[in-house]
Structure 1
Amino acid sequence: MASTSLIVAPQWIGDAVMTEPLMRRLHARGEQLTVGALPWVAPVYRAMPHVHAVVEFPFRHGGLQWQARRAMASQLRGQFDNAYVLPNSLKSALLPFLAGIPRRVGYSGESRVLLLNQRLANPKGERPPMVAYYSALSGEGAIDDLVHDRPQLQLPEDVVAQALHHLGVVRGTFAVFAPGAEFGPAKRWPAAHFATLAKALAERGVPVLLLGSGKEHALCEEIAQPVLASHPGSVQNLAGKTTLEQALSAIAASKFAVTNDSGLMHVAAAFGVPQAAVFGSSSPLHTPPLNPLASVFWLKNDPGYQPPLDCAPCFQRTCPLGHTRCLVDVTPERVLQALV
């Protein structure tokens, strides 16, 4: 009989995508996987064929939410042999402990010594590649042994077709832009650059769908309006107007995607679509788009870029030096050349 495992998922879309190789490894050795995820992340796990079921946790950002966790633990008690706690927080390890799951696996940290009974040491020094970091929780190798794992997502064809019909687009004829980055402006390629690129694509007959959350609608309007003024109908601002499942479908069916280092960058990589990924304050050594069709733009490792970006990667939300050269100096023309 297969063992049953609860996966406590990360709370960010990109991190969720990067856990897919771990799901594949656990499934391959006979574990039946149920993922517990926050509602805005759950659709990512429904695009992983190796996941048996997805339970949406009724939790919010921040706070221990003790009563809600106790109630959910009571519902899950007796159902699982294993728990894999992917976030590093104390509260994420609390639910498997309260549910009495016998084997509880995760990384050390945040005083979780009593909550987890199989702990991996957090690596010291430079940040490791996140996909390998998650895959190592399988116990099938150290982080350095797992750097070749690549996330893969898959949606049923009827789901994609329904989404494309709703959006009024045809598979393979449009580009997707994801200009947001939840972390902060030091990860966002300038809106003016996105607009210039969208205008160049419109001149080539390639319409653009702008994807993001409702909080990014104004940012997407800043991109769309100058393009629509000269090329009516060439851009749709869908930020805050799609479900995550519809956004995933649009990316999976796109001609190519252009993103910052964001959750939707990892989605595009996992669907294997051609993509351009622009990095600013963060590093593709830590969270690269693992896709042979990806073009990565990171001026830190560009020997021809002068003066060198000694400040990168800073991993800050806003540029500490106030210039954001790492993003501004990646030109739309250079990105266009990689796509067409």
Structure 2
Amino acid sequence: MKYLIVGPSWVGDMVMAQTLFIAIKQQHPDAIIDVLAPAWSLPIIERMPEVRRGIDIPLGHGKLGLSARYQLGKSLRQEKYTHAITLPNSFKSALVPFWANIKHRIGWRGEMRYGLLNDIRKLDKSQYPLMVERFIALAYPEGAELPKPLPIPALQVNHNTVHKVLRQYSLHTDMPILALCPGAEFGPSKQWPAGYYAEVARSLAEQGWQVWLFGSAKDKAVTSEIKGCLPDSLQHHCHNMAGETSLADAIDLLSYASAVVSNDSGLMHIAAALSRPLVAVYGSTSPDHTPPMNKNSATLFLNLECSPCYQRECPLGHMNCLKQLSPDMVLAAIFHLTRHSEEHLKIQWAKEGGDLH
């Protein structure tokens, strides 16, 4: 069996899509899986052992590009894929599998896609509340019971490559690493206050941790604000890499984190798929739909009367769903997740003549 998967357009969704690839391999170990996706997502796909290769779709987000899609579909006919699964719900996402003459074309009903898909399914959101359930269900016949437990994303990193990345950014791993991911592409209603991140950073830096700040170029202002809140004596323990690292480098560096604090974002799902101790902070969205899937994570969500609102900006103007979620709550969650690993660190460092405060 040979699958072409049309992947999603968001970082977190692409990470969660690995659950589908795992589900296919659980049923058909010899299946070949290729993923059609934007070029930015290829570093994620390359770290999924279930996938043979990622195929760049040379179109910007939201562009119809009928001619380009037709030419791509036509070029893929020689691959003789037996199955296509289309994860986005858009009309245009179903075009390439159709033009590639793939016999079985599977997906949720979404926009008008009759004919483009020939195994088209109506989504019952109450039956599949989790995004990963909606992905995994497409690996099985309609109505089939999903596996228990659900497969979870698990990205793999090449440690030889990671060592090169550490040297590239002049980083070391001889102190515990707190990774902070304070950005959120969706909007400010998903962003825990920068001052709260700074309090967490200062508290752990005072205990002998170093702080690594991650994000895109758009997040440079907030990461700079967080670093600027630290006293001069702790500045050298804080490394602001927002806008500096490629996605591939960020994945490799996050694999070394002793703990991660993140908004509901793509980097949150990457940290979870790397099985890092993770505190995920939710405001306008809900962990009932897209939670981190790793077991060593804590989701903090106040579940106020006004949340989740799923708005880019707080419609009430107060942001209480995030402002009332205190740094002490995050610090307590970090301690709970890392207390065993810290004991291990103390023992290791004592053997090596070191000290962990």
TM-score, normalized by length of structure 2?
Answer: 0.88
Shift of 1:126: 8.7
Equivalent position amino acid for 1:157 in 2 = H
Instruction: Note the 1:189-228 alignment, pairs <5 A.
Output: 189-227=192-230
Instruction: Note the 1:257-296 alignment, pairs <5 A.
Output: 257-296=260-299
Picking from 316, 327, 337, the partner of 2:332 is 337
Picking from 307, 325, 328, the partner of 1:312 is 307
CA distance in 1, matches of 2:114, 2:13: 23
Change (3 A) 1:203 1:141: farther
Equivalent position amino acid for 1:252 in 2 = S
| Other-structure match for 1:169 | 171
| Other-structure match for 2:36 | 36
Deviations 1:150-188 (A, max 9, x none): 211111221222222222233473111110111111111
Change (3 A) 1:249 1:195: same
Q: Secondary structure at the match of 2:92?
A: helix
| Other-structure match for 1:154 | 156
Q: Retained in 2: the 8 A contact 1:85–1:104?
A: yes
Q: Retained in 2: the 8 A contact 1:228–1:235?
A: no
| Other-structure match for 2:19 | 21
| Other-structure match for 1:8 | 6
Shift of 1:211: 0.8
* Stretch of structure 1 that moved more, 74-83 or 174-183: 74-83
Deviations 1:57-92 (A, max 9, x none): 111011201122122112212311211111111111
Matched, 1:83 2:78: no
CA distance in 1, matches of 2:298, 2:184: 18
Q: Secondary structure at the match of 1:231?
A: helix
Equivalent position amino acid for 1:266 in 2 = H
Equivalent position amino acid for 2:2 in 1 = T
After superposing on structure 2, the runs of 4+ consecutive aligned residues of structure 1 that deviate more than 6 Å are none
Q: Secondary structure at the match of 2:235?
A: coil
CA distance in 1, matches of 2:13, 2:145: 19
Q: Retained in 2: the 8 A contact 1:38–1:57?
A: yes
CA distance in 1, matches of 2:95, 2:68: 11
Q: Retained in 2: the 8 A contact 1:77–1:100?
A: yes
Q: Retained in 2: the 8 A contact 1:130–1:287?
A: yes
Deviations 1:75-128 (A, max 9, x none): 212311211111111111111111211111111120011110111212245971
CA distance in 1, matches of 2:154, 2:116: 31
| Other-structure match for 2:347 | none
Change (3 A) 1:142 1:297: farther
Q: Secondary structure at the match of 1:95?
A: helix
| Other-structure match for 1:303 | none
CA distance in 2, matches of 1:60, 1:126: 33
CA distance in 1, matches of 2:276, 2:172: 15
| Other-structure match for 1:95 | 96
Deviations 1:171-219 (A, max 9, x none): 4731111101111111110111111111111111211111111111112
Change (3 A) 1:92 1:147: farther
Matched, 1:235 2:230: no
CA distance in 2, matches of 1:292, 1:144: 23
CA distance in 2, matches of 1:104, 1:5: 10
Matched, 1:117 2:118: yes
Equivalent position amino acid for 1:153 in 2 = L
| Other-structure match for 1:186 | 189
Q: Retained in 2: the 8 A contact 1:209–1:236?
A: yes
CA distance in 2, matches of 1:230, 1:24: 47
CA-atom RMSD, angstroms?
Answer: 1.8
Q: Retained in 2: the 8 A contact 1:129–1:286?
A: yes
Identity among equivalent positions (%) equals: 39
Q: Secondary structure at the match of 2:153?
A: coil
Shift of 1:232: 2.0
Change (3 A) 1:101 1:190: same
TM-score, normalized by length of structure 1?
Answer: 0.92
CA distance in 1, matches of 2:318, 2:127: 25
Matched, 1:60 2:60: yes
Structure 1: gaps spanning 5 or more residues: 301-308
Q: Secondary structure at the match of 1:83?
A: strand
Q: Retained in 1: the 8 A contact 2:17–2:132?
A: yes
CA distance in 1, matches of 2:192, 2:143: 34
Change (3 A) 1:146 1:229: farther
| Other-structure match for 2:344 | none
Structure 2: gaps spanning 5 or more residues: 336-357
Picking from 302, 319, 327, the partner of 1:299 is 302
CA distance in 2, matches of 1:159, 1:13: 21
